[in-house]
Structure 1
Amino acid sequence: MADAAGYGLEQAVVLLGAAVAAVPLFRKLGLGSVLGYLAAGLIIGPFGLRLVSDAETLLHISELGVVMFLFIIGLEMRPRKLWNLRRQIFGLGAAQVLTCGALLTLLGMAAGGLPPAVAAAAAMGFVLSSTAVIMQMLEEAGDTATEEGQKAISILLLEDLAIVPLLALVALWAAFNGHGTSDAAPVWQSIGIALAALAVLIAAGIWLLDPLFGLIARSGAREVLTAAALLIVLGSALFMQSAGLSMAMGAFLAGVLLSESSYRHQLEADIEPFRGILLGLFFISVGMSLDLATVVREWPFVIAGVLGFMALKGAGIYVIARLSGSVHHAALHRAALFAQGGEFAFVLYAAALGVGLFDARVAAIMAAIVILSMALTPLVLIAQRRLVRDAPVSLDGVDAADGLRGQVLCIGFGRFGQIVSQTLLARRVEMAVIENDVEMIHAAGNFGFKVHYGDGTRLDVLHASGAGRVDAILVCVDKPEAADRIVELCRSEFPHARLFVRSFDRGHALRLIQAGVTFQIRETFESALLFGHEVLKDLGFDESEADDAVDDVRDRDDQRVKLELVGGIAAGRKLLRNNMTTPEPEPFFPRARSGEDTPAAPQAALERD
């Protein structure tokens, strides 16, 4: 027992030491952390120095890192936002999977001489891109909140869903080719079980999860809350896997269902440390799984397969991206990002091997092709960015953010940001301003403003814009997802800076308050109050009556926000006046003015209701 524990401890030290040594070096070289982890795994694995031998067991354990990564992504993907992406998920995602699958199947048959069923299974495994690699690359680049980042996430979700019918198809192809068993579950049954499991998980998330966390939180047991978070993530993943879906899909759905929970930020903080370590171990274990003996013995097939599959898949992705409306540089970037195979290929190839559709040689060659393609992805992205680094926008007459200085950094210079700047400039506050719309920068220049080009959702741009030196950061962008990402980066990297944020709507305002911003305001709130004030005056109410009405609305709104922070978006609805006839109309209580007695507060009406 002691010897086993000591051996396990030695392996843990080797794994952590390899990661600590390789990742900083590769990031310093500009190659990214993914390639660092893969290289570390190759060096210490059974086909390298053999310091760690059980790569397969480690791969299964470290897959939990991908699971937790998808859970955190789900926490950022609220149900309404996910619903808005449905066309990209089932339209763009399905088009990419089917197109690339057909192209790679034809390549396998024509160039590799594979039978149609074997070529199709090999192709569809490679079509399922690596969620772990792509999400890690998007996160490091700060692109998860961008429009292209959301499209990438949508495609990955469709690929997660595709694993169910693909596993069923592998069994059917094997049966048609004289392999496998005739009693394999029909496709409709597999899909029915998967849909039923999805329904059960969604129902549990809607009616059980938030009350469960509320009960645990009231108990005051902090460590139990962390245990409950892990239980929800791992339980959802295991439940989905038992229904034939991927563990990552189960964790993602659990995150989506908890995204509106008041415990969302606490859950994210609890899961984050486990996610980072396990995801790193996943990449190390993938590197360890590369069979160098197979690569050397079958090198013509492996190299041709890597180059041919990546090139043809990338071409298919580029065409689909252009047909769906993406510009050239965005389509090229997506092709470079998705050109590799992924972790789901191992599942599909293992199933094909198990039913006799693949022999051991084909399975080993295809696994090596997938792993090498994952390792090449960071290099392909670097090459793509260098080739088209100036393609996204024409910066003629526009200066990119670099070494900016000022007391305040303003991110976004649209209608909102322009008005905000006037109050600060009236007191000669030194401002640095960045904007990612070149036309807006040119228009601002015509009016004497110096605005630099920069995307505030990217950490490198924030550093270049002087975010580490300013007293305050003004987030005036018009997209709530971008604002959330900027707030997240600034809270993490520049905690000294005070954050003033333009919020989109009430739900966004609550998220910003929970994120700890210094000040937020809904973009239409004050203008709507002034609008209503002028309407009342025009209808014959005097100035004081109009002022009282505006003050009352503002007070009620403050109370609603406090209630909603605790009880959710519907908690303060009783304070909201409506135009429906009620048996007992709610009285109006104007704010007390100087020298007047304070009447009963609106809360009295709330308590009566």
Structure 2
Amino acid sequence: MTNGTPMAVEAAPLYYEPLLLLAGAVIAAPLFKRIGLGTILGYLAAGIAIGPVARLIVDGRELLHVAELGVVFLLFIIGLELKPARLWAMRRSIFGLGLLQVVVTGAALALIGVALAGLSYGAAFVIGFGLALSSTAFAVQTLESQGALNRQHGQTAFSVLLFQDLAIAPLLALIPLLSPGGEGADAISGERFLLALASVAGLIIAGRYLLNPLFRIIANTGAKEVMIAAALLVVLGSATLMQIAGLSMALGAFIAGVLLAESSFRHELEADIEPFRGLLLGLFFMAIGLSLDLGIIVENWMLILIAVPILMLVKALILYAICRVFGSEHNDAVRVAALLPQGGEFGFVLFTAAASAFIFPSATASLLIAIVTVSMALTPLSVRLGEMLMRSEAEDEMDEDFDGAGSDVMMIGFSRFGQIVSQVLLSGGTDVTIIDHSADRVRAAGRFGFRIYFGDGRRKDVLEAAGIRRAKLVAICTNGVATTDRIVNLIRDEFPHVRLYVRSYDRAHTLSLRDRDVEYEIRETAESALTFGCRTLQALGSSEEIAREIVADVRRRDEERLAIQSVEGMYAGNDKMHVRPVTPEPLIKPTREARRLDQEADQEAVESAGN
């Protein structure tokens, strides 16, 4: 206590803003999610309420710089899911569709700026191409929530976003050329270009030759907190390197993620970064709401009311046309167009830099930021409108008819895994209610005589209609971690007493399912890999009996390791694994020894009988 004032009261201002932000997130995000508007709009609304409306926090722009780390962490996690070979396979979409989208949209918006607003050519160029960029945070978060990041339209949208991240560097480099009195801009741009190339090359070399040995050394120490610190160091270090080179921080984190995509530490890194990603991404959306200048919106409400729909309509139409040119189906093209019509967070950086270079006034930059922010806030609405436009595609849809559904077992997902499981259950005389969200798969299964229902297992009403309350057990056989997790979480929340048998993707997924009290799970490749190994041993000369004993031993040690990992973390229980040939061979030697002893005992018995 100092001068009669309690220390807790003195310290309160230090925690004042974080407490407000946490309270706003806890109240608004679940509320908006509950009413069907999504957590993103909830975070935005919380930021607007705390900042521009109540003015409890007045410096939202400064918070936005910190919150942008959420986008950085998001791109790192996405990079972890994209192996270099897969990224190379997407090159046509990235450098074809992505390049065309930026050039055509930027030029169209620049021409509109010159024709309707009387902008100078330099200002129109910056504004047009700045508004051509879309929000990576909004789009990817939406795709993740829908479980669509790995679907065709999700990959197309991500390719466009990735090229936009690449485009921010040359756009920033061009600002000195467009600035009044931009002498020396050529030299600056040349230096930035060389620095950018050197930085990318350095990051690739470090990722290829240094990161895996670094994580291996840290993992061997068993220090969990050091592993987390190393993960943060890699993400923030790569992002900072790219920022120094004039590229986007998110691009640096994405490259680091791609370089680690084939690492054995990939799942551990993802688990370490995920909490920071979720928290900072929510903070990012709240910071956008905090930084919104309601005064500018009120003063220019008519201009914004006209500009935002024009921006979103022009971008959506161009995106749809380009997607169709590149071979996308109507539904996929509509999804991409509805997902990416907003302005992007990198536009904030571009417009601020342009105002600093006197290409247009600061008031114009503030107005553009307000337009981008409003367009971001309208993204969920544009996605809903896109869904309405897809209803005319009757050939891709089916009626949800659950007449006759309801049995002891409900199976969700009828891919190859589910089809084999169904054969076992049906052969055992068990009636199975099968639901799948693919209309083509439902039609194909129906032609073989299966009783299968069209429906999305991620929806409560579909589960109710399919008879989940009558089911003794639910078998979740879906593809993909995100889809499976959404179904598991839904059933655990709404039908907590249902027994869940779940197909898991990998070891990390298995551990997360066990944390949610799933009664039984199995990695989709585990038993087939064990059978494959067993047959391989037999081909090399082992007897069937010995091969089966070895496989049983591997299965037992694997289960023991999982039990240890569920308590102590991913890198615990390493002593349960064999990473090099075991000498003498386990099980084989004891078995041979036992047979030798048995033979000696038999011989002794024969000799005793002869005597």
Q: TM-score range by the shorter chain?
A: 0.7 to 0.9
Question: Do the aligned partners of residues 216 and 462 (structure 1) sit closer, same or farther apart at CA in structure 2, a change above 3 Å counting?
Answer: farther
Matched, 1:248 2:250: yes
Name the TM-score, length of structure 2 as normaliser: 0.79
Question: Do the aligned partners of residues 9 and 320 (structure 1) sit closer, same or farther apart at CA in structure 2, a change above 3 Å counting?
Answer: same
Residues of 2 paired with 1:336 and 1:324: CA distance? 17
**27, 30, 37: which is aligned to 2:43?**
37
2:328 is paired with a residue whose SS is coil
Q: Deviations over 1:175-226 (max 9, x none)?
A: xxx3434345454432332222122222222222233233333333333332
Q: Deviations over 1:467-487 (max 9, x none)?
A: 897645352x6xxxx433344
Task: State how 1:44-63 maps to structure 2 within 5 Å.
Answer: 44-45=50-51, 47-63=52-68
Q: CA RMSD in A?
A: 4.2
Residues of 1 paired with 2:460 and 2:357: CA distance? 48
**Worse-matched range after superposition: 137-146 or 207-216:** 207-216
In the alignment, what sits opposite 1:448?
449
In the alignment, what sits opposite 1:438?
439
Residues of 2 paired with 1:402 and 1:264: CA distance? 45
TM-fit CA distance, 1:53: 0.8
In the alignment, what sits opposite 2:279?
277
2:523 is paired with a residue whose SS is strand
In the alignment, what sits opposite 1:109?
114
Asked whether the 8 Å contact 1:109–1:116 carries over to 2, the reply is yes
Residues of 1 paired with 2:403 and 2:53: CA distance? 43
Asked whether the 8 Å contact 1:105–1:119 carries over to 2, the reply is yes
Asked whether the 8 Å contact 2:114–2:124 carries over to 1, the reply is yes
Q: Counterpart amino acid of 2:418?
A: G
Question: Do the aligned partners of residues 218 and 443 (structure 1) sit closer, same or farther apart at CA in structure 2, a change above 3 Å counting?
Answer: closer
Question: Do the aligned partners of residues 28 and 554 (structure 1) sit closer, same or farther apart at CA in structure 2, a change above 3 Å counting?
Answer: closer
Residues of 2 paired with 1:591 and 1:467: CA distance? 50
Residues of 2 paired with 1:453 and 1:112: CA distance? 51
In the alignment, what sits opposite 2:370?
368
Task: State how 1:133-152 maps to structure 2 within 5 Å.
Answer: 133-152=138-157
TM-fit CA distance, 1:425: 0.9
Question: Do the aligned partners of residues 187 and 528 (structure 1) sit closer, same or farther apart at CA in structure 2, a change above 3 Å counting?
Answer: farther
Residues of 1 paired with 2:203 and 2:266: CA distance? 18
1:180 is paired with a residue whose SS is coil
Question: Do the aligned partners of residues 369 and 470 (structure 1) sit closer, same or farther apart at CA in structure 2, a change above 3 Å counting?
Answer: farther
Asked whether the 8 Å contact 1:144–1:150 carries over to 2, the reply is yes
Asked whether the 8 Å contact 2:413–2:436 carries over to 1, the reply is yes
In the alignment, what sits opposite 2:341?
339
Matched, 1:518 2:521: yes
1:388 is paired with a residue whose SS is helix
Asked whether the 8 Å contact 1:403–1:464 carries over to 2, the reply is no
Task: State how 1:81-100 maps to structure 2 within 5 Å.
Answer: 81-100=86-105
Q: Counterpart amino acid of 1:483?
A: G
Q: Counterpart amino acid of 1:26?
A: F
TM-fit CA distance, 1:528: 9.7
Question: Do the aligned partners of residues 360 and 441 (structure 1) sit closer, same or farther apart at CA in structure 2, a change above 3 Å counting?
Answer: same
In the alignment, what sits opposite 1:22?
28
In the alignment, what sits opposite 1:421?
422
Q: Counterpart amino acid of 2:33?
A: R
**482, 487, 498: which is aligned to 1:485?**
482
Question: Do the aligned partners of residues 6 and 71 (structure 1) sit closer, same or farther apart at CA in structure 2, a change above 3 Å counting?
Answer: same
In the alignment, what sits opposite 1:601?
none
Residues of 1 paired with 2:320 and 2:545: CA distance? 59
**12, 35, 51: which is aligned to 1:6?**
12
**Worse-matched range after superposition: 181-190 or 296-305:** 181-190
**Worse-matched range after superposition: 26-35 or 550-559:** 550-559
Task: State how 1:490-509 maps to structure 2 within 5 Å.
Answer: 499=501, 501=503
Asked whether the 8 Å contact 1:179–1:356 carries over to 2, the reply is no
In the alignment, what sits opposite 2:83?
78
In the alignment, what sits opposite 2:265?
263
Asked whether the 8 Å contact 1:109–1:115 carries over to 2, the reply is yes
Residues of 2 paired with 1:66 and 1:59: CA distance? 11
**Worse-matched range after superposition: 308-317 or 185-194:** 185-194
Identity %: 42
Asked whether the 8 Å contact 1:401–1:434 carries over to 2, the reply is no
TM-fit CA distance, 1:161: 1.1
Question: Do the aligned partners of residues 467 and 179 (structure 1) sit closer, same or farther apart at CA in structure 2, a change above 3 Å counting?
Answer: farther
1:15 is paired with a residue whose SS is helix
In the alignment, what sits opposite 1:231?
233
Asked whether the 8 Å contact 2:412–2:474 carries over to 1, the reply is no
1:518 is paired with a residue whose SS is strand
In the alignment, what sits opposite 2:304?
302
1:317 is paired with a residue whose SS is helix
Residues of 1 paired with 2:267 and 2:589: CA distance? 37
Question: Do the aligned partners of residues 50 and 464 (structure 1) sit closer, same or farther apart at CA in structure 2, a change above 3 Å counting?
Answer: farther
Asked whether the 8 Å contact 2:476–2:502 carries over to 1, the reply is yes
TM-fit CA distance, 1:549: 11
In the alignment, what sits opposite 2:127?
122
Question: Do the aligned partners of residues 559 and 193 (structure 1) sit closer, same or farther apart at CA in structure 2, a change above 3 Å counting?
Answer: farther
The runs of 5 or more residues in structure 2 that have no matched partner are 493-497, 514-519, 562-569, 598-611
In the alignment, what sits opposite 1:579?
none
**291, 294, 303: which is aligned to 1:292?**
294
Residues of 2 paired with 1:85 and 1:523: CA distance? 30
In the alignment, what sits opposite 1:578?
none
Asked whether the 8 Å contact 2:334–2:389 carries over to 1, the reply is no
Question: Do the aligned partners of residues 233 and 198 (structure 1) sit closer, same or farther apart at CA in structure 2, a change above 3 Å counting?
Answer: same
Residues of 2 paired with 1:185 and 1:105: CA distance? 26
Question: Do the aligned partners of residues 242 and 386 (structure 1) sit closer, same or farther apart at CA in structure 2, a change above 3 Å counting?
Answer: same
Question: Do the aligned partners of residues 405 and 230 (structure 1) sit closer, same or farther apart at CA in structure 2, a change above 3 Å counting?
Answer: farther
In the alignment, what sits opposite 1:191?
193
Asked whether the 8 Å contact 1:59–1:282 carries over to 2, the reply is yes
Asked whether the 8 Å contact 2:534–2:551 carries over to 1, the reply is no
Asked whether the 8 Å contact 1:93–1:158 carries over to 2, the reply is yes
Question: Do the aligned partners of residues 150 and 15 (structure 1) sit closer, same or farther apart at CA in structure 2, a change above 3 Å counting?
Answer: same
TM-fit CA distance, 1:341: 0.2
Asked whether the 8 Å contact 1:560–1:572 carries over to 2, the reply is no
Residues of 2 paired with 1:474 and 1:26: CA distance? 28
Question: Do the aligned partners of residues 464 and 92 (structure 1) sit closer, same or farther apart at CA in structure 2, a change above 3 Å counting?
Answer: farther
Asked whether the 8 Å contact 1:483–1:501 carries over to 2, the reply is no
TM-fit CA distance, 1:329: 2.1
TM-fit CA distance, 1:374: 0.6
Asked whether the 8 Å contact 1:467–1:494 carries over to 2, the reply is no
Question: Do the aligned partners of residues 144 and 364 (structure 1) sit closer, same or farther apart at CA in structure 2, a change above 3 Å counting?
Answer: same
Q: Counterpart amino acid of 1:53?
A: V
Residues of 2 paired with 1:171 and 1:68: CA distance? 30
Task: State how 1:452-463 maps to structure 2 within 5 Å.
Answer: 452-454=453-455
Task: State how 1:158-173 maps to structure 2 within 5 Å.
Answer: 158-173=163-178
Q: Deviations over 1:297-318 (max 9, x none)?
A: 2233322221111111111001
Asked whether the 8 Å contact 1:408–1:470 carries over to 2, the reply is yes
Q: Deviations over 1:125-161 (max 9, x none)?
A: 1111111111221122222232221222222111111
Question: Do the aligned partners of residues 524 and 49 (structure 1) sit closer, same or farther apart at CA in structure 2, a change above 3 Å counting?
Answer: closer
Aligned pair count reads 565
TM-fit CA distance, 1:339: 0.3
Residues of 2 paired with 1:173 and 1:402: CA distance? 66
Asked whether the 8 Å contact 1:216–1:224 carries over to 2, the reply is yes
Q: Counterpart amino acid of 1:388?
A: M
Q: Deviations over 1:93-117 (max 9, x none)?
A: 2122122112111111112211222
Task: State how 1:594-605 maps to structure 2 within 5 Å.
Answer: 596=595
TM-fit CA distance, 1:386: 3.5
Question: Do the aligned partners of residues 119 and 5 (structure 1) sit closer, same or farther apart at CA in structure 2, a change above 3 Å counting?
Answer: farther
1:429 is paired with a residue whose SS is coil
Asked whether the 8 Å contact 1:336–1:380 carries over to 2, the reply is yes
Question: Do the aligned partners of residues 155 and 467 (structure 1) sit closer, same or farther apart at CA in structure 2, a change above 3 Å counting?
Answer: farther
Residues of 1 paired with 2:44 and 2:147: CA distance? 22
Q: Counterpart amino acid of 1:434?
A: I
Asked whether the 8 Å contact 1:559–1:572 carries over to 2, the reply is no
